Structure 1
Amino acid sequence: MRTILILISTFLFLSLTACSAYKIDIQQGNTIEADKLNQLKAGMSKQQVQFLMGTAMLIDPFHPQRWEYVYSFRKGGEDIMKRKRVTLTFKDGVLAKIDKSQFKEKTFN
Protein backbone atom coordinates (compact mmCIF):
# COMPACT_ATOMS: atom_id res chain seq x y z
CA MET A 1 0.00 0.00 0.00
CA ARG A 2 2.79 2.34 0.90
CA THR A 3 4.59 1.59 -2.38
CA ILE A 4 1.47 2.43 -4.38
CA LEU A 5 1.08 5.71 -2.49
CA ILE A 6 4.71 6.63 -3.21
CA LEU A 7 4.31 5.78 -6.91
CA ILE A 8 1.13 7.83 -7.20
CA SER A 9 2.73 10.76 -5.36
CA THR A 10 5.80 10.60 -7.60
CA PHE A 11 3.65 10.44 -10.75
CA LEU A 12 1.55 13.42 -9.64
CA PHE A 13 4.64 15.42 -8.70
CA LEU A 14 6.30 14.79 -12.08
CA SER A 15 3.15 15.52 -14.07
CA LEU A 16 2.46 18.79 -12.22
CA THR A 17 5.99 20.12 -12.66
CA ALA A 18 5.41 20.15 -16.42
CA CYS A 19 2.52 22.57 -15.95
CA SER A 20 3.35 26.22 -16.40
CA ALA A 21 1.57 29.28 -17.71
CA TYR A 22 1.78 29.71 -21.47
CA LYS A 23 2.88 33.20 -22.42
CA ILE A 24 1.83 34.39 -25.84
CA ASP A 25 3.74 36.66 -28.20
CA ILE A 26 2.53 40.26 -27.94
CA GLN A 27 2.44 42.18 -31.20
CA GLN A 28 1.13 45.75 -31.20
CA GLY A 29 0.78 48.56 -33.67
CA ASN A 30 1.22 48.75 -37.42
CA THR A 31 3.30 46.12 -39.16
CA ILE A 32 5.82 48.28 -41.01
CA GLU A 33 7.08 46.59 -44.16
CA ALA A 34 10.25 47.88 -45.79
CA ASP A 35 8.94 47.47 -49.35
CA LYS A 36 5.87 49.62 -48.60
CA LEU A 37 8.04 52.16 -46.81
CA ASN A 38 10.29 52.40 -49.86
CA GLN A 39 7.25 53.18 -52.04
CA LEU A 40 6.53 56.36 -50.05
CA LYS A 41 7.50 59.51 -51.92
CA ALA A 42 7.33 63.17 -51.01
CA GLY A 43 4.29 64.79 -52.60
CA MET A 44 1.89 61.88 -52.00
CA SER A 45 -1.53 62.79 -50.60
CA LYS A 46 -2.74 61.64 -47.17
CA GLN A 47 -5.16 59.24 -48.88
CA GLN A 48 -2.37 57.65 -50.92
CA VAL A 49 -0.21 57.24 -47.82
CA GLN A 50 -3.07 55.73 -45.84
CA PHE A 51 -3.87 53.32 -48.69
CA LEU A 52 -0.24 52.19 -48.80
CA MET A 53 0.67 52.12 -45.09
CA GLY A 54 -2.70 51.76 -43.38
CA THR A 55 -4.10 53.95 -40.63
CA ALA A 56 -1.43 55.63 -38.51
CA MET A 57 -1.04 54.38 -34.95
CA LEU A 58 -0.70 57.89 -33.55
CA ILE A 59 -2.06 61.15 -34.91
CA ASP A 60 -1.46 63.86 -32.33
CA PRO A 61 -4.45 66.22 -32.09
CA PHE A 62 -2.03 69.12 -31.54
CA HIS A 63 0.10 68.15 -34.58
CA PRO A 64 -2.32 66.52 -37.05
CA GLN A 65 0.23 66.94 -39.83
CA ARG A 66 2.48 64.33 -38.15
CA TRP A 67 1.59 60.63 -38.40
CA GLU A 68 3.37 58.00 -36.32
CA TYR A 69 3.57 54.36 -37.37
CA VAL A 70 4.75 52.29 -34.40
CA TYR A 71 5.28 48.54 -34.14
CA SER A 72 6.37 46.58 -31.07
CA PHE A 73 6.89 42.86 -30.51
CA ARG A 74 7.54 40.92 -27.33
CA LYS A 75 8.18 37.18 -27.49
CA GLY A 76 6.19 35.24 -24.91
CA GLY A 77 8.15 34.58 -21.74
CA GLU A 78 10.89 37.10 -22.55
CA ASP A 79 11.42 40.58 -21.15
CA ILE A 80 12.95 41.93 -24.35
CA MET A 81 10.76 44.16 -26.54
CA LYS A 82 11.61 45.00 -30.15
CA ARG A 83 10.27 48.27 -31.52
CA LYS A 84 10.17 50.07 -34.88
CA ARG A 85 8.89 53.57 -35.59
CA VAL A 86 8.35 55.73 -38.67
CA THR A 87 7.22 59.37 -38.58
CA LEU A 88 5.56 60.98 -41.59
CA THR A 89 5.10 64.75 -41.77
CA PHE A 90 2.62 66.43 -44.09
CA LYS A 91 2.50 70.02 -45.30
CA ASP A 92 -0.64 71.36 -46.99
CA GLY A 93 -2.07 67.83 -47.21
CA VAL A 94 0.90 66.25 -49.00
CA LEU A 95 3.77 64.17 -47.66
CA ALA A 96 6.74 66.43 -46.96
CA LYS A 97 9.11 64.38 -44.76
CA ILE A 98 9.73 60.69 -44.04
CA ASP A 99 11.68 59.99 -40.84
CA LYS A 100 12.98 56.40 -40.94
CA SER A 101 15.70 56.97 -38.32
CA GLN A 102 13.92 54.68 -35.84
CA PHE A 103 12.84 52.08 -38.42
CA LYS A 104 15.72 49.79 -37.58
CA GLU A 105 14.69 47.36 -34.90
CA LYS A 106 15.53 48.62 -31.41
CA THR A 107 15.62 46.33 -28.40
CA PHE A 108 14.41 47.36 -24.95
CA ASN A 109 14.49 45.51 -21.65
Structure 2
Amino acid sequence: MPRIPACLGLAALLVCGSGCSYFSDFSMPLPTFYKTKVRQGNYLDEATLGTITPGMSKREVQQRLGTPLVTDPFHQNRWDYVYSYRPGTYDDGEPEQRRVTLYFERDVLSRVEYPPQG
Protein backbone atom coordinates (compact mmCIF):
# COMPACT_ATOMS: atom_id res chain seq x y z
CA MET A 1 0.00 0.00 0.00
CA PRO A 2 2.82 2.54 0.67
CA ARG A 3 3.88 2.17 -2.98
CA ILE A 4 0.73 3.88 -4.31
CA PRO A 5 1.44 7.32 -2.71
CA ALA A 6 5.07 7.09 -3.84
CA CYS A 7 4.02 6.30 -7.42
CA LEU A 8 1.45 9.11 -7.39
CA GLY A 9 4.08 11.54 -6.09
CA LEU A 10 6.54 10.48 -8.79
CA ALA A 11 3.87 10.83 -11.49
CA ALA A 12 2.95 14.32 -10.23
CA LEU A 13 6.62 15.30 -10.24
CA LEU A 14 7.05 14.10 -13.83
CA VAL A 15 3.93 15.94 -14.98
CA CYS A 16 5.01 19.18 -13.30
CA GLY A 17 8.54 18.89 -14.66
CA SER A 18 7.38 18.32 -18.20
CA GLY A 19 4.93 21.24 -18.04
CA CYS A 20 7.65 23.73 -18.92
CA SER A 21 8.65 21.80 -22.01
CA TYR A 22 5.00 21.81 -23.13
CA PHE A 23 5.18 25.57 -23.78
CA SER A 24 8.53 25.41 -25.53
CA ASP A 25 7.34 22.77 -28.02
CA PHE A 26 4.76 25.18 -29.38
CA SER A 27 5.25 28.80 -30.27
CA MET A 28 3.38 29.91 -27.15
CA PRO A 29 5.22 32.47 -25.03
CA LEU A 30 5.65 31.81 -21.35
CA PRO A 31 3.66 34.11 -19.09
CA THR A 32 5.70 37.08 -17.87
CA PHE A 33 5.39 39.31 -14.87
CA TYR A 34 5.28 43.08 -15.04
CA LYS A 35 8.61 44.75 -14.31
CA THR A 36 8.74 48.44 -13.59
CA LYS A 37 11.46 50.67 -14.97
CA VAL A 38 14.20 51.42 -12.46
CA ARG A 39 16.25 54.60 -12.37
CA GLN A 40 19.02 54.78 -9.79
CA GLY A 41 21.63 57.36 -8.97
CA ASN A 42 22.15 60.91 -10.18
CA TYR A 43 20.80 61.67 -13.66
CA LEU A 44 23.32 63.99 -15.29
CA ASP A 45 22.61 65.41 -18.73
CA GLU A 46 25.13 67.12 -20.98
CA ALA A 47 23.79 70.61 -20.20
CA THR A 48 24.31 70.17 -16.47
CA LEU A 49 27.77 68.66 -16.90
CA GLY A 50 28.72 71.55 -19.16
CA THR A 51 28.31 73.96 -16.24
CA ILE A 52 30.97 72.15 -14.20
CA THR A 53 34.45 73.62 -14.67
CA PRO A 54 37.76 73.14 -12.88
CA GLY A 55 38.25 75.71 -10.13
CA MET A 56 34.77 75.30 -8.62
CA SER A 57 34.44 74.54 -4.90
CA LYS A 58 32.92 71.32 -3.60
CA ARG A 59 29.88 73.25 -2.44
CA GLU A 60 29.30 74.77 -5.90
CA VAL A 61 29.60 71.36 -7.55
CA GLN A 62 27.21 69.79 -5.05
CA GLN A 63 24.65 72.56 -5.62
CA ARG A 64 24.63 71.84 -9.36
CA LEU A 65 24.97 68.06 -9.44
CA GLY A 66 23.58 67.00 -6.07
CA THR A 67 25.14 64.69 -3.52
CA PRO A 68 27.50 62.14 -5.09
CA LEU A 69 26.31 58.57 -5.07
CA VAL A 70 29.69 57.23 -3.99
CA THR A 71 32.15 58.91 -1.64
CA ASP A 72 35.17 56.82 -0.79
CA PRO A 73 36.34 57.30 2.81
CA PHE A 74 39.91 56.51 1.74
CA HIS A 75 39.89 59.00 -1.17
CA GLN A 76 37.90 61.97 0.06
CA ASN A 77 39.07 64.08 -2.87
CA ARG A 78 37.17 61.90 -5.35
CA TRP A 79 33.43 61.94 -6.01
CA ASP A 80 31.66 59.42 -8.23
CA TYR A 81 28.30 60.15 -9.78
CA VAL A 82 26.67 56.99 -11.12
CA TYR A 83 23.38 56.65 -12.98
CA SER A 84 21.75 53.45 -14.18
CA TYR A 85 18.48 52.75 -15.95
CA ARG A 86 16.76 49.43 -16.47
CA PRO A 87 13.64 49.49 -18.66
CA GLY A 88 10.42 47.83 -17.59
CA THR A 89 8.43 45.07 -19.26
CA TYR A 90 6.65 47.24 -21.82
CA ASP A 91 9.29 49.97 -22.33
CA ASP A 92 11.22 50.30 -25.56
CA GLY A 93 14.41 51.55 -23.92
CA GLU A 94 17.80 49.95 -23.58
CA PRO A 95 19.60 49.50 -20.25
CA GLU A 96 21.91 52.42 -19.63
CA GLN A 97 24.71 53.26 -17.22
CA ARG A 98 26.67 56.49 -16.91
CA ARG A 99 29.52 57.43 -14.64
CA VAL A 100 31.29 60.73 -13.96
CA THR A 101 34.25 61.02 -11.61
CA LEU A 102 35.32 64.35 -10.11
CA TYR A 103 38.72 64.96 -8.49
CA PHE A 104 39.40 67.75 -6.02
CA GLU A 105 42.60 69.32 -4.73
CA ARG A 106 42.24 71.38 -1.54
CA ASP A 107 38.42 71.39 -1.92
CA VAL A 108 38.64 72.83 -5.45
CA LEU A 109 37.66 70.83 -8.54
CA SER A 110 40.79 69.89 -10.47
CA ARG A 111 39.49 67.52 -13.18
CA VAL A 112 36.46 65.67 -14.47
CA GLU A 113 36.63 62.16 -15.98
CA TYR A 114 34.07 60.37 -18.11
CA PRO A 115 35.08 56.70 -18.18
CA PRO A 116 34.09 54.80 -21.33
CA GLN A 117 30.50 53.63 -21.14
CA GLY A 118 29.96 50.00 -21.85
Deviation at 1:45, TM superposition (A): 0.2
For 1:87, the equivalent position in structure 2 comes to 101
Deviation at 1:33, TM superposition (A): 1.4
Matches within 5 A, 1:1-109: 20-77=32-89, 81-102=95-116, 106=118
Give structure 1 stretches of 5+ with no counterpart. Answer: 1-16
**For the residues of structure 1 that align with 2:34 and 2:79, how far apart are their CA atoms?**
35
**For the residues of structure 1 that align with 2:70 and 2:86, how far apart are their CA atoms?**
20
Q: CA RMSD in A?
A: 2.0
Q: SS where residue 65 of structure 1 aligns?
A: strand
**For the residues of structure 1 that align with 2:61 and 2:45, how far apart are their CA atoms?**
13
**For the residues of structure 2 that align with 1:97 and 1:65, how far apart are their CA atoms?**
11
For residue 82 of structure 2, what is the amino acid of its counterpart?
V
**What TM-score, normalized to structure 1?**
0.71
How far does the alpha carbon of each residue in 1:53-105 deviate from its partner, in whole angstroms, 9 at most, with x for none? 00000010000100000000011139x63100000000000000100234xx5
Structure 1 residue ranges, 4+ long, deviating more than 2 angstroms after superposition: none
**For the residues of structure 2 that align with 1:20 and 1:60, how far apart are their CA atoms?**
39
**For the residues of structure 2 that align with 1:101 and 1:74, how far apart are their CA atoms?**
20
